Structure 1
Amino acid sequence: MSSKKNKPAGGNKKREEEQRENILQAVVLTDSYQTRFRPFTLETPRCLLPLANVPLIDYTLEFLSLAGVEDVFIFASTHAEKIEEYIRNSKWNKPSSPFTKCQIVMSPSSLSVGDAMRELDGKGMITTDFLLVNGDFVSNIPLEEVLRAHRDRRTKDKNSIMTMILREAGYGHRTKARGESGVFVIDEATQRCVHYEEMRHSGDSKVLLPPELIKHHPQLRIRTDLIDCQVDICSPDVPALFTENFDYQHIRRHFLHGILTDYELYGKMIHTHVLSEGYAARVRSLQTYDAVSRDIISRWTYPMVPDNNLGPNQSYSLERGNIYKEEDVVLARSCTVKRNTILGVGTLIGAGSIVGNSIIGAGCKIGQNVVLEGVYVWDNVVIEDGCKIQNSIIASDCVLGKDSFIGEGSVISYGVKIADGAQISPFSRITANRRRKDRTAEDHEEAVSGSDYEDSESESEDEHAAAIQDGLVYSTHHLNLSFSSISTLPGEDSDEDDMSGTIPRKTKTGRSDSTTSFESVDESWHREAFTSLLNAMENDHPAEVANLELNGLRMTANANFHQVRRAVAAALVTRIEQVVAKDGLTNAAASAKVLQRWESTIKRCIFERKDQAEFLLLMQRECSDRKAGPSLLLYIVQVLNNTMEMVEEEAVNNWWLDVKSFEDEKMAAVRKPTEAFVKWLAEAESESETEEEEEDDDDDE
């Protein structure tokens, strides 16, 4: 592997040691030591599975390069030879690599994080503080402040051996693992973690704190709202402690819990650094695979987005509606490609086919009249005419015969061939790999070249419970869990023309997402979203954080964008009233201040002219129940149209002519003061058209 050696120009030994201490090393664990991605990982290591058509490990290494890491040790267990081959032929092993050293540590016998850490300690590779990450980590968080705080603590006290990097998020955030959640008890004054427990959703959720914690730490905060991607800044003491304790296997459940519990014995301290901005997630299950893929498409992970072409020889360009296309993509004139879709190089889509909310790999051939909705198709897949696939993953080199149907939540592994007209039941896992239990039904034997997958190794009780809740997100509705969908896409009300021929998706209550009437909106979700957004406004949280939380709520409940617009409108009008009362501003000044402050939030829920008109209607409905409503509505419309230019004149006119805007006395009354402004807009538009016609006539003369 690459190792760029720079001889020191001069200086004594002490200076060389100080320079060496400032070098940031990283250890990348490529194996999760779990089976959640089988049958895919029977043939390919998890870190090389494609995420938005880029191997997972490339996102991790890009993050490390942005963080200023110089030495990288990639610890490979399962499929170690494939990982070594990939890294050897990648950009990370070339002279232009951002890393001084990129070394593979092969240890096929390691079965846990503890084994990996003991192996590193035994080889003596770690010479300074290092960053410990997993090879399925996707993030754009800056590390300068975290590293500085960690080094300052280490300088003051060498017993500060580790800093855990955590990200603020809601309890049910889409990128959090569903099977378990960590409880961090943190000393508010020092950010030191003094207690840790893991709660299992299937068991008792109580956490018992030792009484002495309260005595020694008067300001404690119990956090269950954190995304823990198991990204830690560690001192060389950490691998050594794993060596001393051979029963330590898991980094949190065993090591963290053990060091905190035995503080009197070891005297070691572990701190936390909680971030409120930036993106951080691990692809640790099929559920989070879906969530992170959608976030990449929606550009939450910038600069790690498709059109920055992270993979070798990629040529993606971004088109309207978050559609990413590479070169040499051939689209039939009558096919439909909907928003939030990635099309890899050399892909061909036939006439009458509909592809939406999907990621298509390189070299795929999609026939005529095919319907793909929420599907992940990897490289070199052939999907013949008339196939219908919903919310599934199709691995590389598969062939799906004519008029076949793949039920939602299905996983089709490498090289499987589906016969013409075959019907694959929802939530199936099919593999062509020989390592499986031969329990194939007769109809599958005839229709499929692979067979149903069942792991031949028994899972632990903990992993089995986690797997039930961490399965492919679309397969959870039949388990009656609280997480029915994490799609980042707008509801079917977003584009009527695009939705023909698609398979409708249902929420956990069974109703379609296409509902747009006021009466049928989910009031429970509205209250939660409204409260979350208003709380962010009242506490002046960054708009980015509020937008991320709102988007997470929407995806968790499979809410459509009409519901989002309603929650945003309600929060904005309420906040404007609060600013008027608290700051003594006029309605006009308060409207301008609040709307401009939350401009990005508004932009994220109105995309087309009809959305703008509906947003005005929702604002009007909110104002109709308020004493100052008529005045507020006037200034809101003026600011959105005239000052911020977020609502077009045509949208204002469409709203004004909508029967719903004057269907009852309250709605008619609240819009009266705005009538003069709407007329002025119409007259100004008419005068502009007249002037243009006169100029055209002059040009003709």
Structure 2
Amino acid sequence: MAKGERRPSGSKASGGPPSIGHQSEDEPLRAVVVVSQMTPGADAYSTLTGQPAALLPVANVPILFFQLETLLRGGVQECILLVVRDDSTAVQSALSNVASAVQDEKPNRSFSMRGMTITIFEGSDWHSEGDALRELETRDDLRPRQDFVLVSLGAVFSLDLSTLLREHRARRASDKNWLLTTAFRRGVRRDGATRPLCIVFDPDDFQLLKYDDGERADSIKIELASTFGKSRERLCAIADAVDIGVDICGPEIMVEFRENFDFDEIRDYVRGKLDSGDGEVLGNRIYAHFTSAHAPGSGTVVTDFGSALSAQNDFMQRWLYPLVPELELIPGQRCIRHRNSVYKEGSVKVDPSSRLVADTVLGADVEVRAHSYVSKSALGKGVVVGCRVEIRSSILMDGVTVEDDAWIECAVVCKNCVISKGCKIGKGSVLGSGIVLEPGAVIAPGSFLVREDMLEKKREVEDLGSTLLSDVDVNESLSADSQKVDSRGQEVTAREKVCALAPDDVRDSILACTQFAKWVSPEMVAKQSDRCLLRNILEPEDLEEYSDEEVESGVDLQSFPNLADTEGNGVVMSSANTFASEILDTVTRAIREGHDIENSVLEVNSLKLVYDRSFADCAREIFAAILREARSGRSFLEELNRLLQGWSALVVRFAPRETEQSEVLMAVLCFLSESANAAYLKAAPTILKLLYDHEIVPEDAILDWADGNIPGALREAFKACSPFVEWLAEADEEDEEEEDEEEEDEDDDENDHANVRALSAE
């Protein structure tokens, strides 16, 4: 039957529709979990690694294992995994790590995990989740005959399913038309990784009346007089709901899919019933269950690599309690919590000079060498990090090697990649398995790199021929399992090639990218600073226009983390230039015209929202503007002190935490590095002392910053600041010694008093 056709009401499928009055009370609680992306060509993660999207690791644990753990805790006894045949081997291999095989023969391979039976239901010609559910409905041995749990692809959640199911059954007992309970999370994370929904529901009985993922809440139209056959006095419309991807379904849902081929997924059913009026005619009702974004028992759906990083942060910050990093989700893979929320698995080697901070997890056999910095990242098994490497908010999968002086931010690096010495990987970039970057390669933000042999395995030429945008310039491959990328962008012949995917052709992917790859020559990059890149990444053919002398003298540099904005032609056109200029103009004008601090805060906040910048970006640029303004005075230090007396409050408003305060200190180093006058280097200790005296940056923040990873080109400026840092460290040690002496004196006094009391008693 073609899609869009509806089965005649008198026709019957194998097994017939379930009857509510004749449900078997002995049937165990079942869950159906979507494991594979079934839309042809849409699973970019599978293209990158050869594995289904459900095995994408979040904090080194595949998404599927989060789902199985929560289902177990919710009392699920039988779990059915919907898997396309090409992904079956990878899923079985993953399950063997957490479950024991029960039946290893087709058609239904089964595993047992702590009392829960897991059955792999394979299909080869499914084109949607709806196709899989329709085939499942024909299987008498697997079809749910009672209420069951449906888990969407990529759902990471820790809901109390037993309570949710109990409430669903209570509603069904009073009114069997409550076919579905859908879980939502209220509140959208500030990271912007998750797109909110606009939904309308009845606040009295929480019946869902409108579900929309595209419209604005104030543009939704719904008839107040009568909705779903019921007169309603009030409705509630919200625009901050996030679909968690978990539903409690009545068995009639299977019949709905069987009889309507327009439903490709459960959300098609929800939208179809609400928008077409079928729900009102048939009396079908959907209950909206809400949980808070900032409370345990929440969840999210991983739809791309950005939301995977967001889910990882939720897990590391314990918003998915009782799922916490210390929990042994994979037998034998237990992490131990250390200071600063750093979690380490066994046999991890970290050089004492390196710094691990803020929600970082290290898998088994990870090695981090000298003077490196890792923050808010997950490093898989066997990852090796070289010296002076900086890794922020990234996922590095098993077997990745990062050589010295590399920089990685907000990126995903798949298995067995090699990031060679001096490479820079921009925000939002994704490297497929086996990619090897040549030393000094610069990957523009949003790049999506995949080996062509991996792409060919997962696509049909007629379906995805347009997806292959171009053969990216490559060098000869190192082996059949890896591919070397030339940092100069010179085209050569190779047995395997790295391909860049056009963003329009993968926008519907479960793991979509935002931009295709561009390279610049390492000679163009930061001769003045290891942590800087060109503001405008140029096409390889444009490199010939610049000589080394022109690069050294005429190219404006900017901090790598700000390289985030792109245009459709693939050339990165960062707005960091404009943002820095706007802040400079705003602060300079405020100082010279004597504006009020509060008005200046409002102006900076407006620029922050317009350019989508962080508080750290604002704090850095504000203090950089104050430093530049101080140069106009007769005495730089006197003028800086005078300015800080009146304007330190503006900096403090945007630097309340150590993260922002460290950026203020980095602004000092950049200012000193850019200044040709050696007198400014001599003034470096006094600049830091002024920051300390005016309570902009506290002692602990300065000492922690000094212990961190300082980029090579800024080390001369940092060395100029060292006298004040050393003085501060010595004063801190003296304070600790005095405190220890005072405590010892207090102990001695207490002992003397005790002796006197004892003698008096005698």
**Number of the residue aligned with 1:320:** 339
Aligned ranges 1:360-439 → 2 under 5 Å: 360-434=379-453, 435=455, 437=468, 439=470
**Number of the residue aligned with 1:117:** 133
In 2, are the aligned partners of 1:373 and 1:503 still within 8 Å (CA)? no
Q: Which amino acid aligns with 1:20?
A: D
**Could you tell which deviates more after superposition, 231-240 or 152-161?**
152-161
Aligned-pair CA distance for 1:136: 2.0
- Distance in 1 (alpha carbons) for counterparts of 2:352 and 2:378: 20
Determine which structure has more spread, i.e. the larger CA radius of gyration.
2
In 2, are the aligned partners of 1:176 and 1:227 still within 8 Å (CA)? no
Q: 1:208 aligns with which of 199, 207, 221?
A: 221
Q: 1:336 aligns with which of 355, 359, 363?
A: 355
Q: Which amino acid aligns with 1:66?
A: R
Aligned-pair CA distance for 1:320: 1.1
**Number of the residue aligned with 2:186:** 168
Aligned-pair CA distance for 1:41: 5.1
Aligned-pair CA distance for 1:225: 2.0
In 2, are the aligned partners of 1:39 and 1:431 still within 8 Å (CA)? no
Q: Deviations over 1:507-544 (max 9, x none)?
A: 987468x99x98798648989x9xxxxxxxxxxxxxxx
In 1, are the aligned partners of 2:154 and 2:301 still within 8 Å (CA)? yes
1:350 aligns with 2:397: no
- Distance in 1 (alpha carbons) for counterparts of 2:509 and 2:96: 36
Q: Which amino acid aligns with 1:114?
A: G
Aligned-pair CA distance for 1:149: 2.0
**Number of the residue aligned with 2:214:** 199
Q: Which amino acid aligns with 1:306?
A: P
Assess, with a 3 A threshold, how the Cα gap between structure 1 residues 562 and 60 changes in structure 2: closer, same or farther. Answer: farther
**Number of the residue aligned with 2:173:** 155
Q: Which amino acid aligns with 1:98?
A: R
Aligned-pair CA distance for 1:281: 0.7
1:69 aligns with 2:76: yes
Aligned-pair CA distance for 1:237: 0.2
In 1, are the aligned partners of 2:181 and 2:287 still within 8 Å (CA)? yes
1:19 aligns with 2:25: yes
Aligned-pair CA distance for 1:230: 2.7
**Number of the residue aligned with 1:440:** 471
**Number of the residue aligned with 2:258:** 243
In 2, are the aligned partners of 1:132 and 1:232 still within 8 Å (CA)? yes
Aligned-pair CA distance for 1:189: 2.1
Taking only the aligned residue pairs, the percentage that are identical comes to: 26
Assess, with a 3 A threshold, how the Cα gap between structure 1 residues 376 and 309 changes in structure 2: closer, same or farther. Answer: same
Aligned-pair CA distance for 1:143: 2.9
Q: Which amino acid aligns with 2:131?
A: D
Q: Which amino acid aligns with 1:353?
A: S
In 1, are the aligned partners of 2:23 and 2:146 still within 8 Å (CA)? no
Secondary structure at the counterpart of residue 314 of structure 2: helix
1:463 aligns with 2:508: yes
Assess, with a 3 A threshold, how the Cα gap between structure 1 residues 31 and 316 changes in structure 2: closer, same or farther. Answer: same
In 2, are the aligned partners of 1:92 and 1:99 still within 8 Å (CA)? no
1:253 aligns with 2:298: no
Aligned-pair CA distance for 1:294: 1.5
**Number of the residue aligned with 1:131:** 149
**Number of the residue aligned with 1:97:** 113
Aligned-pair CA distance for 1:266: 2.8
Q: Deviations over 1:640-661 (max 9, x none)?
A: xxxxxxxxxxxxxx9xx96569
Q: Deviations over 1:375-422 (max 9, x none)?
A: 211101122223222221111111222233323321110011222333
Q: 1:60 aligns with which of 67, 71, 82?
A: 67
Q: 2:205 aligns with which of 190, 194, 207?
A: 190
In 2, are the aligned partners of 1:174 and 1:288 still within 8 Å (CA)? no
Q: Which amino acid aligns with 2:175?
A: D
Q: Which amino acid aligns with 2:52?
A: P
- Distance in 2 (alpha carbons) for counterparts of 1:388 and 1:213: 59
**Number of the residue aligned with 2:679:** none
Q: 1:222 aligns with which of 217, 229, 237?
A: 237
- Distance in 1 (alpha carbons) for counterparts of 2:618 and 2:514: 29
Assess, with a 3 A threshold, how the Cα gap between structure 1 residues 690 and 200 changes in structure 2: closer, same or farther. Answer: closer
Aligned-pair CA distance for 1:362: 0.7
Secondary structure at the counterpart of residue 225 of structure 1: strand
In 2, are the aligned partners of 1:63 and 1:138 still within 8 Å (CA)? no
In 1, are the aligned partners of 2:371 and 2:389 still within 8 Å (CA)? yes
Secondary structure at the counterpart of residue 127 of structure 2: coil
Q: Deviations over 1:553-604 (max 9, x none)?
A: 9xx96345999xxxxxxxxxxxxxxxxxxxxxxxxxxxxxxxxxxxxxxxxx
Q: Deviations over 1:60-87 (max 9, x none)?
A: 1111111111111111126332344135
Assess, with a 3 A threshold, how the Cα gap between structure 1 residues 42 and 167 changes in structure 2: closer, same or farther. Answer: same
- Distance in 2 (alpha carbons) for counterparts of 1:74 and 1:321: 37
**Number of the residue aligned with 2:291:** 275
Assess, with a 3 A threshold, how the Cα gap between structure 1 residues 294 and 195 changes in structure 2: closer, same or farther. Answer: closer
Secondary structure at the counterpart of residue 148 of structure 1: helix
- Distance in 2 (alpha carbons) for counterparts of 1:390 and 1:521: 31
- Distance in 2 (alpha carbons) for counterparts of 1:111 and 1:266: 28
- Distance in 1 (alpha carbons) for counterparts of 2:304 and 2:180: 26
Q: 2:158 aligns with which of 118, 122, 140?
A: 140
Q: Which runs of 5+ in 2 are unaligned?
A: 1-19, 102-110, 457-467, 478-483, 486-495, 518-534, 536-558, 566-574, 588-596, 620-655, 663-688, 697-736, 756-762
Q: Which runs of 5+ in 1 are unaligned?
A: 1-13, 473-477, 479-501, 530-552, 564-604, 612-653, 662-684
Secondary structure at the counterpart of residue 239 of structure 1: helix
Aligned-pair CA distance for 1:506: 7.7
**Number of the residue aligned with 2:538:** none
In 1, are the aligned partners of 2:129 and 2:264 still within 8 Å (CA)? yes
Q: 2:378 aligns with which of 336, 359, 381?
A: 359
**Number of the residue aligned with 1:28:** 33
In 1, are the aligned partners of 2:59 and 2:312 still within 8 Å (CA)? yes
Aligned-pair CA distance for 1:244: 0.6
How large is the Cα RMSD of the aligned pairs? 4.6
Q: 1:692 aligns with which of 744, 755, 759?
A: 744
Aligned-pair CA distance for 1:140: 2.0
- Distance in 1 (alpha carbons) for counterparts of 2:746 and 2:264: 81
Q: Which amino acid aligns with 2:291?
A: L
Aligned ranges 1:496-575 → 2 under 5 Å: 510=576, 523=602, 558-559=614-615
- Distance in 2 (alpha carbons) for counterparts of 1:102 and 1:249: 24
In 2, are the aligned partners of 1:161 and 1:234 still within 8 Å (CA)? yes
**Could you tell which deviates more after superposition, 234-243 or 374-383?**
374-383
Q: Deviations over 1:311-366 (max 9, x none)?
A: 23213111111111122111223333233221111111222333233211111122
Tell me the TM-score normalised to structure 1 length.
0.64
- Distance in 2 (alpha carbons) for counterparts of 1:691 and 1:429: 59
Count of aligned pairs: 520
Assess, with a 3 A threshold, how the Cα gap between structure 1 residues 367 and 84 changes in structure 2: closer, same or farther. Answer: closer
Secondary structure at the counterpart of residue 242 of structure 1: helix
Q: Which amino acid aligns with 2:470?
A: R
- Distance in 2 (alpha carbons) for counterparts of 1:67 and 1:78: 28
Q: Deviations over 1:52-111 (max 9, x none)?
A: 101110011111111111111111126332344135513244697234421111113212
**Number of the residue aligned with 1:619:** none
In 1, are the aligned partners of 2:383 and 2:399 still within 8 Å (CA)? yes
Aligned-pair CA distance for 1:198: 3.5
Assess, with a 3 A threshold, how the Cα gap between structure 1 residues 268 and 438 changes in structure 2: closer, same or farther. Answer: closer
Assess, with a 3 A threshold, how the Cα gap between structure 1 residues 66 and 213 changes in structure 2: closer, same or farther. Answer: same
- Distance in 2 (alpha carbons) for counterparts of 1:134 and 1:337: 34
Secondary structure at the counterpart of residue 188 of structure 1: coil
